[in-house]
Structure 1
Amino acid sequence: MKRDINIFEFPLNLGLKKKEHETEPGVRKLPDWLRKFDFHKKINPQHIFRLEAPDYSMEIDQESGVLNAVRIIEYAKEQADFISKNHAEDSFNIMLGGDCSILIGAALALKKLGNFGLFYLDGHTDFIPVSLSETAAAAGLDLAIITGMGHEKLTNIQGLKPYFLEENIFCVGNAETDDEEYVAQIINSDIQYFDLYELRKNGFGKTAEDFLKLVNNKALDGFFIHLDVDVLKDELMPAVDSRMEDGIDYKNLREMLKPLIHSPLCFGIQITVLDPDYDENGTYTKPFVKNLIQLIKNKED
């Protein structure tokens, strides 16, 4: 990659409901965990920025019905200002979560910068109202929130609703297709939706090309990639909050992300939900880091 690279660390875990055996979700350790496997060293970024997150809590917000909504909103505002202040023009920005709710702050920052597209690569759609959520956790609602579905306090921070227009989004890789009411939400939206079956049918490289055509045809100011690692097959990445058996492999991931990451219009990528507590020896993290570095640095081994 010829552009300068910045790494932003957002170790937020307030968007997840902790499991009974957990003190708190381990995803907040992700930036330090990737550093342990030389991700930062091999990426060799121009800058590393970090915004510490609030302590974990399990507080349901009465107004919105969303877990930890007030703290998530405050962090999103800080995060948006932090990105706006520290990103450099024509740099490629890698944002390390944390959970998927870090997308809210990134979306706020991008809304202030212009009209952006979103390539949402996730094993779930995360596009439901809180009434359909079993956990009321923002990490499972983030695509809904950033497009304006949900309580105003989350969807209209600083009067910027919607942070992304539905028509500028591809939602790709959902393997949770059994629940009709869940899937109906996104089918009835203006988001271009490719569940796992449709993604394979359309082709991984072609889906990326189709998205780039949309970005160019609509003359968008750029686009952002969301990568929740639970989009990978369970045998490759079981260290996630919500496991599913089916998913994509690293060859599929490379085919899809390579043209996107190396587009000059790509603002950056966020990596979420890899939980070090479920991968104590780095068995699953090591190949993930290797593949991600190859993708970003455009190297083949």
Structure 2
Amino acid sequence: MIRNINIFEFPLNLGLTKKEHETEPGVRKLPDWLRKFDFHKRINPKNVFRLEAPEYSMQFDEELKVRNAEQIIEYAQNQADCIISHYEKNSFNIILGGDCSILIGNAVALKKLGNFGIFYLDGHTDFIPPELSETGGIAGMDLAIITGRGPEKLTNINGLKPYIAEEHVFCCGNAETDDEEYVSQIINSGIHYFDLYQLRSKGFRNTAEDFLKMVEEKKLDGFFIHFDVDVLKDEIMPAVDSRMEDGIGYDDLKEILEPLIENPLCLGIEITILNPDDDKDGIYTRPFVENLIQIIKK
């Protein structure tokens, strides 16, 4: 990759509900954890920008039926400002979470920059309304929110609804396919949806290339990749909030991400949900960092 690389650190964990044994979800530590394994050093970015996140809370909004809505909205606005103020045309931006709710601020920034698509690579769809959520965690409904479904306060920040049009999204890799009500939400949307098994059948590179064709046909200004590490097989990445046994391997990841990252219209990638507290010796993080660097720096 010849373009300048910038890293943005958004260590937000307010989109997750903490587990009984936790004081707070450990995904907040992700940027510092990757730095410990020389991710930043080897990527060698032109700049590193960081926006500190508010303290963890479990505040439930009775009206919106979600947790921490006000703090997440405020953080999303600050995130968008941070991205816009440091945006460089033709740069590649690596955005480190945090949880998946950081997509909201990133999507607000994308809307301000133009008309963008999203390649959503995740072990879940994150496309449900609050009433289907067991926890009220916004990280489980971020894709619905950025495409305009959900509480108006979240979907229409600064009057920009929808941040991304449904038909400009590919959602790939969902392994939670047994729950019919859960899956029906995305099947009945305008999103191009390929669960894990459809993705394997269609082919990883083919799916990426079809997405790029869509970007070209719709004459989009560019696109952004969401990569939740829970899309990886549990045996290679169990350090996540919501574990699923099945998933993709590193060869599959390379096949799907390389054509996307190599494309000049790719504004960047966000990486979410890796929890350092669940990988204290770095057994899973080391190969993750190695593979990711190979893909990005190819």
Q: Same fold (TM over 0.5)?
A: yes
CA offsets per residue over residues 134-166 of structure 1, 9 Å max, x none?
111000000000011111000000000000000
Deviation at 1:87, TM superposition (A): 1.6
Q: Size of the alignment, in residue pairs?
A: 298
Structure 1 partner of 2:232:
232
Structure 1: distance between partners of 2:257 and 2:241: 23
Deviation at 1:61, TM superposition (A): 1.3
Structure 2 partner of 1:255:
255
Instruction: Within 5 Å, give how 1:1-301 maps onto structure 2.
Output: 1-298=1-298
Structure 1: distance between partners of 2:67 and 2:288: 30
- What SS does the aligned partner of 1:170 have? strand
Structure 2: distance between partners of 1:91 and 1:125: 28
- What SS does the aligned partner of 2:19 have? coil
* Contact preservation (8 Å) 1:166, 1:191: yes
> Which runs of structure 1 show a deviation greater than 3 angstroms over 4 or more consecutive aligned residues?
none
Q: Structure 1 vs Structure 2: percent identity of aligned residues? A: 74
Output the amino acid matched with 2:232: L
Structure 2: distance between partners of 1:214 and 1:204: 16
Q: CA RMSD in A?
A: 0.4
CA offsets per residue over residues 66-98 of structure 1, 9 Å max, x none?
110110000000000000001211100000000
CA offsets per residue over residues 86-126 of structure 1, 9 Å max, x none?
12111000000000000000000000010000000000000
Deviation at 1:64, TM superposition (A): 1.0
Structure 2: distance between partners of 1:238 and 1:135: 21
Output the amino acid matched with 2:289: V
Deviation at 1:62, TM superposition (A): 2.2
- What SS does the aligned partner of 2:186 have? helix
Structure 2: distance between partners of 1:69 and 1:286: 34
Structure 1: distance between partners of 2:64 and 2:157: 13
Structure 1: distance between partners of 2:195 and 2:18: 27
In structure 2, stretches of 5+ residues that fail to align are none
- What SS does the aligned partner of 1:49 have? strand
Structure 2: distance between partners of 1:153 and 1:255: 38
Output the amino acid matched with 2:61: D
Structure 2: distance between partners of 1:200 and 1:119: 16
Structure 2: distance between partners of 1:64 and 1:2: 44
* Contact preservation (8 Å) 1:148, 1:161: yes
- What SS does the aligned partner of 1:193 have? strand
Structure 2: distance between partners of 1:201 and 1:76: 36
- What SS does the aligned partner of 2:173 have? strand
CA offsets per residue over residues 211-245 of structure 1, 9 Å max, x none?
00000011100000000000000000000000000
In structure 1, stretches of 5+ residues that fail to align are none
Deviation at 1:44, TM superposition (A): 0.1
Deviation at 1:22, TM superposition (A): 0.2
* Contact preservation (8 Å) 1:27, 1:275: yes
Which segment drifts farther, 58-67 or 76-85? 58-67
